[in-house]
Amino acid sequence: MILRDPVHGLVSFETPELSIVVELLQCPELQRLRRIRQLGLTSFAYPGADHTRFAHALGSAHVMTRFIARLQGLHDALPYWQRITTERTRDAVAAALLHDIGHGPFSHLFEEALPAGPKHEVWTTRIILDPSSSVHRTLVRHDPALPQRVAQLILGDHPLQFLAHTVSGMFDVDRCDYLLRDAHATGVSYGSFDLDWLLRSLRLGFAESTDASPPLAIDGDKGLPAIESFVLARLFMFQQVYFHKASRAAEWMLSRILIRLRQLLLDGDRTEAVPAALRSLLCTEEAALGDYLKLDDGALWGGIAQWAEHKDAILSDLCRRLYNRNLFKTYELFGPGRTAEAYETLLHIARDLAQQKGLDPEMYVGLDHATDVPFEDEKDSLRVIFPNGLSQAPADVSFVLRRLRGEKLERIRLIYPPEIRNELLGKASEQCL
């Protein structure tokens, strides 16, 4: 198989050990990812952000073939049992392709709006291990133990530490693909980094003992700026895209819709157009796998389109707004006045104003906290090594990373309906907020 990808250019899976990619791509569980946007509601803020989980899965598998090629160029120094065999290649590429297969509609957003339900990682494991899934049957055809092995690998569990970290680590195929892909689709160039150079700088570090496998490492002489810019690319994408105020507001609205829908369902309302899995998740916090696999963005948008006619005024209003992109507004504090108390004050003011307009304060006003730690020096996830045998943590040798280690990025925003905008800004100004 050979195809064109807008991010990586020419992508091919042609050798025998990569044939598993072609087979897995024929599974309905993977084709479902074509109907799930990678960035949820972000296209409300960035009109090009319509790329799908499917393209990301393919891209991750492609990046894995590049990691493998590089690691094979390095593995001659390893004991035999630590080398990248054709079986390990197959396993790693399958894991890369399947690592996100459990995502629901709108990706992360869906699980965040249903905090009590299973996370996407759980669904991923279920899909791979369930004997009825097409993915499972495809894996088993290669090796009965393969589903279990791939599921473990996705969780970062593998005898070869460095291989596990290519699937799940500080510098893994998931991040490599999504940063470049999200940057390409949004037009936010800051998300780019030099993948060629990073891969070329990849090394194997020093094993802690003779029966341990070595960690992933970067050549300190050539690779440091590459890994720095990789970390910074991720930081920028969080600041610019993943924490964008319009998509955060849309996401908050979606979560209110699901909360309201749940209330109605628990109250015995016979709302229509609720996909079985969603109904079950809302009412019982669980769902059958077969039902879950019928969920996709279109199914949820179809529901929202119908609930916009619902007799419950709150549900229908929220659905109508979201469907037609009439988004709530946000208000953020900067400078010395940016305190938790100030936000609480803002929240009270806004909720009062909403109530005065006849809007349910809980469903129309809230605080949105977005946080991320752009760079944590996870133990042994990636080392930096030097010609003379020195091995260091990235933060110990990098000018930039040393200054970012463990630092938390945090954005807090008041979310409120446009109807109260003028009064809110007036009162905020009065109180010097």
Structure-block tokens of residue 286: 């669980």
Q: Distance (Å, rounded) from C-alpha 88 to C-alpha 311?
A: 56
Which one of residues 342, 376, 397, 427 is an interface residue with a second copy (CB under 8 A)?
A: 397
22 versus 116: smaller Cβ distance to a second copy: 22
- 152 binds a second copy, rule: CB under 8 A: no
- Nearest 5°: phi and psi at 394? -50, -45
Shortest Cβ 211–a second copy spacing (Å): 27
Q: How far apart are the first and last CA of the chain?
A: 58
Which one of residues 309, 344, 378, 396 is an interface residue with a second copy (CB under 8 A)?
A: 396
| Bridge partners (DSSP) listed for residue 367 | 414
167 versus 188: smaller Cβ distance to a second copy: 188
Q: Distance (Å, rounded) from C-alpha 335 to C-alpha 45?
A: 25
The SS3 assignment for 377 reads coil
Return the residues of window 162-181 that contact a second copy according to CB under 8 A.
none
Which of 333, 323, 328 is closest to 417 using CA atoms?
328
Which one of residues 23, 289, 409, 419 is an interface residue with a second copy (CB under 8 A)?
A: 409
- 220 binds a second copy, rule: CB under 8 A: yes
Which one of residues 101, 185, 217, 249 is an interface residue with a second copy (CB under 8 A)?
A: 185
Structure-block tokens of residue 207: 């094993």
Q: Distance (Å, rounded) from C-alpha 213 to C-alpha 84?
A: 12
Shortest Cβ 72–a second copy spacing (Å): 14
Which one of residues 23, 121, 194, 376 is an interface residue with a second copy (CB under 8 A)?
A: 194
153 versus 274: smaller Cβ distance to a second copy: 274
Cβ-contact 319, 290 below 8 angstroms: no
Strand 329-331 and strand 391-392: the pairing is unpaired
Which one of residues 58, 64, 160, 164 is an interface residue with a second copy (CB under 8 A)?
A: 58
287 versus 404: smaller Cβ distance to a second copy: 404
- 34 binds a second copy, rule: CB under 8 A: yes
Return the residues of window 66-105 that contact a second copy according to CB under 8 A.
none
Shortest Cβ 63–a second copy spacing (Å): 14
Sheet strands side by side (includes 409-416): 329-331, 409-416, 366-372
28 versus 159: smaller Cβ distance to a second copy: 28
Shortest Cβ 10–a second copy spacing (Å): 5
Look at the block and give the residue holding tokens 């619902």. 310
Looking at 170-178, 194-202, 281-289, 345-353, which segment touches a second copy (CB under 8 A)?
Answer: 194-202
Cβ-contact 415, 250 below 8 angstroms: no
Return the residues of window 296-355 that contact a second copy according to CB under 8 A.
296-299, 301-302, 305, 323-326, 334-335
- 236 binds a second copy, rule: CB under 8 A: yes
The SS3 assignment for 249 reads helix
Q: Distance (Å, rounded) from C-alpha 314 to C-alpha 271?
A: 14
Which one of residues 19, 129, 137, 225 is an interface residue with a second copy (CB under 8 A)?
A: 225
31 versus 86: smaller Cβ distance to a second copy: 31
Which of 252, 135, 234 is closest to 190 using CA atoms?
234
Looking from the CA of 363 toward its CB, the CA atoms found within 13 Å total 20
The SS3 assignment for 413 reads strand
Which one of residues 404, 414, 415, 424 is an interface residue with a second copy (CB under 8 A)?
A: 404
